[in-house]
Structure 1
Amino acid sequence: MARDHGFHPVRITRIVDETPDVRTFALDAGFPYRAGQFLTFKACGTLRSYSMSSSPDTDGELCVTVKRVPGGLVSGWMHDELRPGDVLEASGPSGSFCLRGDGGDSDADVRPLVAFAGGSGITPVFSLVKSALATTGRPVRLLAAHRSAPDAIFRAELDALAGRRPGRLTLRHHLDDRDGLVTREEILELADGPADFYLCGPEPFMALVEDTLSAHGVAGARVFVERFAPVSDTPVPEDAPAPEDSRVPEDSRVPEDAPVPEDAPVAGSVTVVLRGQRRSVPLRPGESLLQSARRAGFTPPFSCESGDCATCMARLTAGEAKMRVNNALDADEVAEGYVLTCQAEPTAPDVTVEYED
């Protein structure tokens, strides 16, 4: 049976003020989920993805934690307007920033988990840490970096968890106004020995951790990354979703009116059908179907742009395409011609992709 990629009503049961600009929304939602995943919400005529801070293994309710982004269309609305009892539209849980351990990995339940979280990046990491401590015997080491003590999300909860798990959870709180910026030495203090490494936070923070681990000889297969660097936005048309928690590098976004370079090979065309309109553009090698749709002047649906949420899914009705990453569609959906347009690159000269209404 194909997965359910639709949106469903979820009711807010309570709201917790974590810091002056961060709120947790507890939801009455019957979704099964894995620690580290996120929900995609339909609000204000657009789509936004927010990670769960709750753990399915320790918490009785599903919670998402949202940081107010300056100028943020949805985060501002959620902070200012939503109250307990209000109903939101959300898709099912998505994402692959999850605990590893499948595939016959005999060391998965004992190999240390080392996590580096910066700012609101603590949200999915908190979920992972709680599940790892509750369901495995793994030692957990966590560096949580924030600008100041008032900005430290979940600090009290993490301190209490460390107190209940002496010897299992090594916790370091880093405050920029007290300690300066995070250093390579701090990272290496926690990175000693074989481990699985989980990273989430602002891009400069992430780059520092990734570079430090790589220079230390940590294999890339042991480093798991979730990127959602907040960006400000302005109101957009209702048919033009744009992510507030951007999980995609800026240089991968192709302006809709970007001209085709004169020396770019043109070996065919990409035809996009969306909202009853059909438009074609010359094929660009290496360009995703989502990028082609934007270049055709469309505002197609998307959210994570990392192959995790299926918001951008559409069906190939002519030609072929290969997905770089697919963590959202099952084998039956792929066999029926569905692709994640953010990840699908044409492998045939002429391709047609149709979005469902």
Structure 2
Amino acid sequence: MTAQPRVLTHVSSRRADEAFYRVPVTQVIRETADTVSLLLDTSTVSGEAFTYRAGQFLTLRVEIDGSVHDRCYSMSSAPMLDRNLQVTVKRERGGVVSNWVHDNIDGGSEVEVSGPGGVFVLGPGEDREIVAFAGGSGITPVFSIIRSALATSSRRIRLLYANRDQDSVIFAGRLDELINVYPSRLTVEHHLDSDNGVVDADEVRTFVLGVDEDADYFICGPGPFMDTVEAALKTTGSDLERLRTERFVKPTISAHANAGASMTETVGIRLNGRKTVVDYREGNTLLQTGRAAGIRPPAQCETGSCATCIARLVDGEVTMMNNDVLTQDEIDDGWILTCQSIPMTTSVRIDYE
């Protein structure tokens, strides 16, 4: 992609709130053996800092052994239904923050969190069908979206929910309750890898048979699961203009991007009125390049989902490894996600202003 001359000002509204606030944890709910939900009392923060839309996330900041760690967690609460904001955290093998949350937070604790961000949310269309695919903890934002849509619209919803086994199904009982309340509007198909192996393309294609042509699609879960679902949907003729994805992991740099980055020598960064020229280190994103130079560019999710790290591409070319937030028009207008952007020319200049 190449820099473009126009400016698109409204994209900054997609950024997550970069300020952090200390809020009490009113309750910790054990969802499964390795998953907990934290109920946060954000009423202690004045204003609308925690006004959110179903499907969005916040950033949790913790200090562990002297090091500060930021992690993004989707809200599993529904904004129009729940008094307290809720995030759900699955313990990950080797997960520094997730393990700390499980081992250290209880009712009465305080946590430091940012305001909401992200665009994995319902768009306009009160009558359009919703087709959702969730894998494991990817149910978190999807659950918020489903509850909100059922309570505030007449939309029909289909969910394919994949898990390792029965014991790992998050919100199993609450999904059953929703089916009982909305039997004609909510269909949930559970997939257990222990019984059927992993979800494949044929299962996805079968699941979307008879779906409305103008349906909204949502996919969230492990990378391979999401890749399988998205690739299968492309073969069905589904209208993917309304497809939204949410990734919980950072994508890896492709061989193509690495090849382009090998020719890059310098990156120019303008932030807070200050211009800095940085020697480029092969394999780094533009965000990482700024950090290595001692600059503190804005960032939160670092998966291409929140737009906190957006900047204008003033000169040069980059390739974005993942983009779940910018439209093609916004990209054509020169906006990039610096956490996902790898330089592809001898020099690149970006502007955070």
Bin for the TM-score computed over the shorter chain: 0.7 to 0.9
* CA distance in 2 between partners of 1:345 and 1:260 (Å): 6
Count of residues paired in the alignment: 313
* CA distance in 2 between partners of 1:165 and 1:85 (Å): 35
Q: CA deviation at 1:176?
A: 1.3
The residue number in structure 2 matching 1:55 is: 78
Instruction: State the SS of the aligned residue for 1:157.
Output: helix
* CA distance in 1 between partners of 2:244 and 2:301 (Å): 16
**1:204–1:259: structure 2 CA closer, same or farther, 3 Å change rule?**
closer
The residue number in structure 1 matching 2:89 is: 66
* CA distance in 2 between partners of 1:13 and 1:141 (Å): 32
1:290 aligns with one of 287, 290, 296: 287
Instruction: State the SS of the aligned residue for 2:253.
Output: helix
2:38 aligns with one of 12, 20, 25: 25
Contact preservation (8 Å) 1:326, 1:340: no
* CA distance in 2 between partners of 1:326 and 1:115 (Å): 16
* CA distance in 1 between partners of 2:175 and 2:20 (Å): 32
Contact preservation (8 Å) 1:38, 1:51: yes
Q: CA deviation at 1:85?
A: 1.3
Contact preservation (8 Å) 2:264, 2:280: no
What are the within-5 Å matches in structure 2 for residues 1-357 of structure 1?
A: 4-30=17-43, 31-44=50-63, 45-101=68-124, 108-192=125-209, 193=211, 194=213, 195-228=215-248, 246=249, 248-251=250-253, 261=262, 264=263, 269-271=267-269, 280-281=278-279, 289-294=286-291, 296=293, 302-306=299-303, 308-309=305-306, 312=309, 341-342=338-339, 351=349
Q: CA deviation at 1:22?
A: 0.3
Q: CA deviation at 1:109?
A: 1.2
Q: Sequence identity of aligned pairs in percent? A: 42
* CA distance in 1 between partners of 2:73 and 2:287 (Å): 21
Q: CA deviation at 1:32?
A: 1.0
Instruction: State the SS of the aligned residue for 1:129.
Output: helix
**1:252–1:279: structure 2 CA closer, same or farther, 3 Å change rule?**
farther
Contact preservation (8 Å) 1:5, 1:310: no
**1:51–1:322: structure 2 CA closer, same or farther, 3 Å change rule?**
farther
* CA distance in 2 between partners of 1:65 and 1:296 (Å): 35
Report Cα offsets for 1:321-355 as digits up to 9, x if no partner. Answer: 99987969xxxxxxxxx996436789996747689
Pick 1 or 2: higher relative contact order, CA cutoff 8 A, min separation 6.
2
Contact preservation (8 Å) 2:18, 2:298: no
Query: Residue 19 of structure 1 aligns to which amino acid in structure 2?
Result: T
Tell me the TM-score normalised to structure 2 length. Answer: 0.75
Contact preservation (8 Å) 1:321, 1:344: no
Query: Residue 268 of structure 2 aligns to which amino acid in structure 1?
Result: V
Q: CA deviation at 1:298?
A: 6.8
Contact preservation (8 Å) 2:119, 2:306: no
Q: CA deviation at 1:303?
A: 2.9
Report Cα offsets for 1:185-233 as digits up to 9, x if no partner. Answer: 33223312321111111111111111111011113312211111xxxxx
**1:17–1:354: structure 2 CA closer, same or farther, 3 Å change rule?**
same
Q: CA deviation at 1:292?
A: 2.8
Contact preservation (8 Å) 2:264, 2:346: no
Query: Residue 106 of structure 2 aligns to which amino acid in structure 1?
Result: R
Q: CA deviation at 1:11?
A: 0.9
**1:126–1:288: structure 2 CA closer, same or farther, 3 Å change rule?**
same
Q: CA deviation at 1:9?
A: 1.1
Query: Residue 250 of structure 1 aligns to which amino acid in structure 2?
Result: T
The residue number in structure 2 matching 1:242 is: none
Q: CA deviation at 1:178?
A: 2.0
Instruction: State the SS of the aligned residue for 1:198.
Output: strand
Tell me the TM-score normalised to structure 1 length. Answer: 0.74
Contact preservation (8 Å) 2:122, 2:145: yes
